[in-house]
Amino acid sequence: MPSVCFYFQVHQPLRLRHYTVFDKDHNYFDQYKNAAICRKVANKCYLPTNRLLLELIRTFDGRFKVAFSLTGVLLEQLERYCPEVISTFDALAQTGHVEFLAETYYHSLSFLYSKQEFLEQIDKHVQTIRYYFGQTPRVFRNTELIYNNDLSHTIEALDRFDGILCEGADHVLGFRSPNFVYRPKACKHLRLLMKNYALSDDIAFRFSNRHWSEWPLTAEKFARWITQVNGCGHVVNLFMDYETFGEHQWADTGIFEFLRHLPAEILKHPDNNFLTPSEVIARYPVMDEIDVPHLISWADTERDLSAWLGNAMQSSAIHELYRLEKAIKATGDEQLLADWRRLQTSDHFYYMCTKWFADGDVHKYFNPYDSPYDAYINFMNVLDNLRGRCKMAPLASPVPDSGPRVLEPVG
Amino acid sequence: MRTGRTGEPLRVFMLGWEFPPFISGGLGTACYGLTKAMDQLGIQVTFVLPRAVGSRYATHVKLLTPESGTSYRYPQTAFRHVRFYAIPAHLQPYARPDARSMRLQQILQQKGLEHVRAAVGTPEVAPEAMHYAGDMFTQVQRYAALVAELASEEEFDLIHAHDWMTFPAGIAAAAVTGKPLIVHVHSTEFDRSGEHVNQRIYDIERAGMERADKVITVSYYTRNIIISRYGIPASKVEVVYNAVEGNGGWPLSGTGIKRDEKIVLFLGRITMQKGPEYFLMAAKKVLEVMNGVKFVMAGSGDMLHRAVSMAAELGIGHKVLFTGFLRGEEVRQIYRMADVYVMPSVSEPFGIAPLEALENDVPVIISKQSGVAEVLNHALKVDFWDVNEIANKIVAVLRYPALRMTLRDYGNFEVKKLRWQDSARRCLRIYEQMLVPV
Closest chain A residue to B363 measured between Cα atoms?
A: A373
Q: What is the pLDDT of residue A203?
A: 96
Predicted confidence (pLDDT) at residue B2 exceeds the cutoff of 70: no
Domain assignment present for residue A314? The answer is yes
Residue B246: band (very low, low, confident or very high) from pLDDT cuts 50, 70, 90: low
Is the pLDDT higher at A408 or at A121?
A121
What are the sequence ranges of the domains in chain B? 11-243+420-435, 262-416
Cβ distance A290 to A184 under 8 Å? yes
Helix (H) or strand (E) run with residue A6 in it: strand A3-10
Domain assignment present for residue A402? The answer is no
Which CATH number fits the domain that encloses residue A250? Answer: 3.20.110.20
Q: What is the pLDDT of residue B369?
A: 95
Strand arrangement, sheet containing B380-382: B320-324, B293-298, B262-267, B340-343, B364-367, B380-382
Q: Which of A76, A99, A120, A144 is catalytic?
A: A144
Domain assignment present for residue A128? The answer is yes
**Quick one: CATH architecture of B262-416?**
3-Layer(aba) Sandwich (3.40)
A375 CA: distance to closest CA in chain B (Å): 11
Q: Is A144 among the catalytic positions?
A: yes
Q: What is the pLDDT of residue B129?
A: 38
B397 CA: distance to closest CA in chain A (Å): 9
What range does the domain containing A343 cover? 308-392
The ipTM estimated for the assembled molecules is 0.87
pLDDT in tens, A287-339: 999 999 999 999 888 888 988 998 999 999 999 999 999 999 999 999 999 99
Q: Tell whether A90 and A136 lie within a shared domain.
A: yes
B289 interfaces chain A, CB cutoff of 8 Å? yes
Cβ distance A99 to A161 under 8 Å? no
Chain B partners of A376 at a C-beta cutoff of 8 Å?
396, 400, 402-403, 406
Question: CA-to-CA distance for B168 and B120, rounded, in angstroms?
Answer: 5
| Pure H helices in A268-332 | 277-283, 306-309, 312-323, 325-331
Q: Tell whether A171 and A265 lie within a shared domain.
A: yes
Which residue among A20, A371, A380 sits closest to B400, beta carbon to beta carbon?
A380
A316 interfaces chain B, CB cutoff of 8 Å? yes
Q: What is the pLDDT of residue B50?
A: 82
Q: What is the pLDDT of residue A410?
A: 54
Average pLDDT value over all residues in chain B: 83
Q: Tell whether A285 and A349 lie within a shared domain.
A: no
Which residue among B288, B380, B396 sits closest to A380, beta carbon to beta carbon?
B396
pLDDT in tens, B122-167: 544 334 333 444 578 888 888 898 899 889 888 999 999 999 999 9
Residue B23: band (very low, low, confident or very high) from pLDDT cuts 50, 70, 90: low
Cβ distance B13 to B154 under 8 Å? yes
Label residue B124 exposed, middle or buried (CB < 10 Å: 0-12, 13-18, 19+).
exposed
Is the pLDDT higher at B431 or at B93?
B431
Q: What is the pLDDT of residue B92?
A: 41
pLDDT in tens, B173-206: 999 999 999 999 999 999 988 888 999 999 999 9
pLDDT in tens, A330-372: 999 999 999 999 999 999 999 999 886 655 455 566 788 989 9
Mean pLDDT for the stretch of residues B373-377: 94
Q: Tell whether A191 and A331 lie within a shared domain.
A: no
Residue B59: band (very low, low, confident or very high) from pLDDT cuts 50, 70, 90: very low
Q: What share of residues in chain B are helix, strand, coil (percent, to 5)? A: 45, 20, 35
Cβ distance A27 to A17 under 8 Å? yes
Q: Tell whether A234 and A286 lie within a shared domain.
A: yes
Predicted confidence (pLDDT) at residue B56 exceeds the cutoff of 80: no
Question: CA-to-CA distance for A384 and B146, rounded, in angstroms?
Answer: 64
Mean pLDDT for the stretch of residues B88-100: 47
Q: Tell whether A280 and A319 lie within a shared domain.
A: no
SS3 B69: coil
Judge: A354–B400 Cβ closer than 8 Å, yes or no.
no
Residue A235 CB partners (closer than 8 Å, separation 6+): A1, A2, A3, A4, A5, A179, A180, A181, A193, A275, A280, A284
Question: CA-to-CA distance for A87 and A79, rounded, in angstroms?
Answer: 10
SS3 B391: helix
A335 CA: distance to closest CA in chain B (Å): 26
Q: What is the pLDDT of residue B9?
A: 84
Fold of the domain built from segment(s) B11-243+420-435: Rossmann fold (3.40.50)
Residue B78: band (very low, low, confident or very high) from pLDDT cuts 50, 70, 90: low
B412 CA: distance to closest CA in chain A (Å): 14
Average pLDDT value over all residues in chain A: 93
pLDDT in tens, A125-155: 999 999 999 999 999 999 999 999 999 999 9
Domain assignment present for residue A399? The answer is no
pTM of the model: 0.87
Judge: B400–A313 Cβ closer than 8 Å, yes or no.
yes
A364 interfaces chain B, CB cutoff of 8 Å? no
Which residue among B377, B389, B399 sits closest to A20, beta carbon to beta carbon?
B389
Chain A partners of B377 at a C-beta cutoff of 8 Å?
357, 371
Is the pLDDT higher at B134 or at A247?
A247
Cβ distance B403 to B301 under 8 Å? no
Question: CA-to-CA distance for B368 and B364, rounded, in angstroms?
Answer: 12
Strand locations in B352-419 (E): 364-367, 380-382
Q: What is the pLDDT of residue A299?
A: 86
Label residue B58 exposed, middle or buried (CB < 10 Å: 0-12, 13-18, 19+).
buried
Q: What is the pLDDT of residue B436?
A: 81
Q: Tell whether A74 and A165 lie within a shared domain.
A: yes
Question: CA-to-CA distance for B276 and B134, rounded, in angstroms?
Answer: 25
Predicted confidence (pLDDT) at residue B217 exceeds the cutoff of 80: yes
Work out how many domains chain A is built from and give that number: 2
Of the listed ranges A159-173, B43-57, B72-86, B264-278, the one predicted with least confidence:
B72-86
Residue A358 CB partners (closer than 8 Å, separation 6+): none
Closest chain B residue to A315 measured between Cα atoms?
A: B402
Going by C-alpha positions, the residue among B337, B349, B411 that lies closest to residue B378 is B411
Judge: A373–B407 Cβ closer than 8 Å, yes or no.
yes
pLDDT above 90 covers what percent of chain A? 87
Judge: B378–A354 Cβ closer than 8 Å, yes or no.
yes
